[in-house]
Structure formats: C-alpha cells, structure tokens
C-alpha cells in the first residue's frame, strides 16, 4: 500500500487521454494517488470536465479561462464563474493568471480576466489556481491588490517562477504546487525555492499530460506520476515519503475544503 497523495492539477479532458480514462485513473490509484483535480481552461470544455468528475468519485474539477485563451473569446464574468463553481464537484477557480511568454500581446485582457477570477474566488470561497509565466511582477502586484480588497485563498500551480514571486505568494498565505519540473535534474534552483518554503504550504501535481517527471520525462504525463514528484519533494524537505505525503494531503484538505467536504 502506498501512502495517499493527491494530484492537485491535471487535465483529464485533453485528447491525450481519450478512451483511456478508466485505465489512467486505475493506475493513479495503484500509485497511491487517491484524488485528482482536473482543470477546465475554456468555456467549451466545461460540460466534458463536469462529466468526468461526475463519473469518478475521487475526481474533482476546477473552472476558469486560461490566460493564453483569454483573447479567443469574450471576457468571462464573475457571475459565469460563480455559476460554474456551484457544481457540487467544482472545487477551485482557474486556472487563471498571466502568460507573457507566449501571449504577451493580450496582457491587458489577461490582467482584466485575472481580476475577475480573483473576485469570483473571494465570493465563492474556492481557491484561486494561478498560472504564471514571464509575468512575475504583474502577477505579484495583482494578487496583492486583490487581497487588499478582501482575502481569498490561492495556489501557484506548477510553480517554476522566481524566489521573489514565491515570497510574495507565501506572504499572502498562498500555496506553491510542485510539478514534474521540480524533479528535473537541472531544477536545483527551483528545489531550493521549495525547500525555503513552509512545508504546510506545499502541494503536488502533474499538470498532465505535460511535464512528466523522471523516469518518464519526454513522454505523456499522467496522474500516477505524481508519486515521482512527491518522492523528490520528500527529499527536498528531508522527510520520509510517508511524512511528506501526509503533509501534502493535510495541505490539500486545508485549501480545497470543498473536495474534503
């Protein structure tokens, strides 16, 4: 029996998993991944993501508009996000955030979208799920400004940004999520950022089908591989796998309260 962990961020609706979900979820269970949160990133995918979470007792979902998709459709409204969040298995708002690496031309729209997601997270009490790439200063400023308007909870998903953004997020009481990137051999600087963070603010995830950790790097990622990242996380914090797993489970339960309820 493996200690239980949770894949706090995956994309089970992506075509990479078409026709294989029962097997994917069975392998996750066998690896000790007891729960999964599958993330919807576009309006058009919501019904499918809801159906997936309804079909599997231990799969939950979140809904938001990915920053790279913001320019493709009308700006989401707080009411739309709140309506989606009312689904019994919707446990988070996002992913949202800023991505200036691929879509800097839509920066203004991304910022507007992020602010709306923050408001929805505050009003629903569900955690905000943040994607950050090449936009650390703006992300930190907007998250801080939003928190000054009223507190909300948040996780920096697939965290691979600067120590400065990590500190800004942690200072607000937010969480950092460790993905397969943290297990890459050349990611020592990132591992050092995690090691400096409080253990009670750490989650694990795959972001599958992307970013498979060793020994599967370069292949399709899947929730079962959360265990490889968690093993590295245990080493980063100088803990046994069992203790690190228990800590991240407690963290998930504290942040994603609706999943636990």
For the segment 116-144, the average pLDDT, to the nearest whole number, is: 98
Residue found by looking up tokens 């913001």 in the block:
70
Per residue in 201-242, pLDDT tens? Answer: 999 999 999 999 999 999 999 999 999 999 999 999 999 999
For the segment 70-77, the average pLDDT, to the nearest whole number, is: 95
Bond from prior residue into 215 cis (ω within 30 degrees of 0): yes
The contacts of residue 88 (CB under 8 Å, 6+ apart) are: none
State what percent of residues in the chain have pLDDT above 90: 98
Nearest CA-CA partner of 180 in 129, 134, 233: 233
Distance CA 101, CA 174 (A): 23
Mean pLDDT of the chain: 97
State what percent of residues in the chain have pLDDT above 70: 100
pLDDT exceeds cutoff 80 at 1: no
pLDDT exceeds cutoff 80 at 161: yes
What pLDDT is recorded for position 261?
87
Distance of CA 118 to the CA centre of its chain: 15
Both tokens assigned to 79 = 């009411």
162, 188 in Cβ contact below 8 A?
no
For the segment 172-182, the average pLDDT, to the nearest whole number, is: 98
For the segment 28-46, the average pLDDT, to the nearest whole number, is: 97
For the segment 4-12, the average pLDDT, to the nearest whole number, is: 98
pLDDT exceeds cutoff 80 at 37: yes
Q: What is the dotted CATH code of the domain comprising 5-260?
A: 3.20.20.140
pLDDT exceeds cutoff 90 at 253: yes
Helix (H, G, I), strand (E, B) or coil at 135: coil
For the segment 95-101, the average pLDDT, to the nearest whole number, is: 98
Would you place residue 43 in the very low, low, confident or very high pLDDT band (cuts 50, 70, 90)? very high
For the segment 177-201, the average pLDDT, to the nearest whole number, is: 98
pLDDT exceeds cutoff 90 at 151: yes
What pLDDT is recorded for position 215?
96
pLDDT exceeds cutoff 80 at 10: yes
Domain boundaries, the chain: 5-260
For the segment 239-250, the average pLDDT, to the nearest whole number, is: 98
Say if residue 174 is exposed, middle or buried (CB neighbours under 10 Å; 0-12, 13-18, 19+): buried
Task: Kindly write down the DSSP assignment for every residue of 12-81, as one continuous string.
Answer: TTSGGGTT-HHHHHHHHHHTTEEEEEEEE-SGGGHHHHHHHHHHSTTEEEEE---GGGGGGSPPP-HHHH
Give the global pTM: 0.97
What pLDDT is recorded for position 2?
87
């Amino acid at each position: 029996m493996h200690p239980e962990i949770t894949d706090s961020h995956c994309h089970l609706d992506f075509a990479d998993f078409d026709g294989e979900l029962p097997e994917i979820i069975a392998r996750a269970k066998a690896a000790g991944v007891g729960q999964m949160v599958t993330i919807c990133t576009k309006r058009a995918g919501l019904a499918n993501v809801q159906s997936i979470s309804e079909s599997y007792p231990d799969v939950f979902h979140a809904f938001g508009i990915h920053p790279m998709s913001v320019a493709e459709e009308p700006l989401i409204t707080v009411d739309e996000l709140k309506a989606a969040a009312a689904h019994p298995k919707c446990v988070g708002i996002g992913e949202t955030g800023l991505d200036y690496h691929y879509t800097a031309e839509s920066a203004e729209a991304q910022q507007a979208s992020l602010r709306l997601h923050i408001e929805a997270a505050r009003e629903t009490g569900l955690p905000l799920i943040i994607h950050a790439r090449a936009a650390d200063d703006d992300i930190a400023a907007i998250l801080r400004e939003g928190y000054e308007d009223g507190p909300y909870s948040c996780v920096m998903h697939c965290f691979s940004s600067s120590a400065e953004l990590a500190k800004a997020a942690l200072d607000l009481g937010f969480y950092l999520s460790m993905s397969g990137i943290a297990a890459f051999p050349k990611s020592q600087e990132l591992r050092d950022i995690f090691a400096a963070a409080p253990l009670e603010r750490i989650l694990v995830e795959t972001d599958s089908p992307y970013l498979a950790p060793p020994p599967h790097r370069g292949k399709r990622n899947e929730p079962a591989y959360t265990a490889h990242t968690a093993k590295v996380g245990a080493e980063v914090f100088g803990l046994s796998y069992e203790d690190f797993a228990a800590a991240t489970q407690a963290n998930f339960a504290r942040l994603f309260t609706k999943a636990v309820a």
